[in-house]
Amino acid sequence: MDPQLAGRTVLITGSAERAGRTFAQHFARAGASVVVNHWRQSTLAAETVDLIRAAGGDAIAIESDVSNTGDARTLVQRAFGWKGDLSVLIHNASSLRPKEFEDVTEDDFDASFGVNIRGPFFLSQEAAKVMKKQGRGRIIALVGNSTTEAWPNLIPHGLSKTALVRLMEQLAVALSPTVQCNAVAPTQFYRSDDGTNDALRRYRGEPLVEDGTIRIGSRYEFRNGDADDVAETLLFLSTCSSYLTGAVIRLDGGKALF
């Protein structure tokens, strides 16, 4: 239990499953009331809420397409209306459509920018109204490794996530000193059951070795992180000194230095 989060409401987009579910559980254990946002994942979202409640936490699920501006604004209003508070907004939802550059369609491009930029922009705009009235708030974006790595089969994703970094930097100034805005840039850390994430690593020439580390070339290896590592960083940014704002925290075990 963290006294700074006890009784506070945290909205996490795309938190019905995978890493988002882990983030939601970590915040609930810290004492926050968690809004589990999802889009067309009602069963998974209900499972996440049940897991949190079974562990003694508090959570609700709200379905919303964050790429739709009206839905995004309504999501924030409903999240605030639940407890009369909105202390932390985490942009976790993401659109990932692996395709080679030559095969990318307008729909692929729009999907990436809709979820990864338009959604966070208008969610942040609506959340800022609430947070300014409260006199406090944190907005945190998951921006991935697009700031330091190039993935030729994920160019719209990389572009939109890079733009999201700049959005957080701009908002850190625009909403200062009331709302702190930061970004977390983890290297790929999630291992899906269907092998999709491992396939993406192989595409980049970064296969996982038996002990869970990732090898670069024939000589260098670095530790593979997990969702718990990222959740700890999100919790830190939600409760740390308000002097920390406009930062991009690289979370990659030193990979970018190889």
* Average pLDDT over every residue of 183-191: 86
Residue 192 has pLDDT above 80, yes or no: no
**In this structure, which long-range contacts are made by residues 104-109, counting pairs with CB atoms below 8 Å and at least 24 apart in sequence?**
104/155, 104/156, 108/156, 109/156
Top CATH class of 9-189+226-257 equals: alpha beta
Give the pLDDT score at 87.
98
Q: How many CA atoms lie within 13 A of 240 on its CB side?
A: 15
Asked if 213 and 253 count as a contact pair (C-beta separation under 8 A), the reply is no
In the chain, which segments carry CATH 3.40.50.720?
9-189+226-257
Give the pLDDT score at 210.
67
Query: What is the value of pTM for the model shown?
Result: 0.93
* Average pLDDT over every residue of 59-82: 98
For 117-155, what is each residue's pLDDT tens digit? Answer: 999 999 999 999 999 999 999 999 999 888 788 889 999
Q: What separation in angstroms does the CA of 54 have from each of 8, 30, 147?
A: 19, 15, 38
pLDDT tier at 54, thresholds 50, 70, 90: very high
pLDDT above 70 as % of the chain:
98
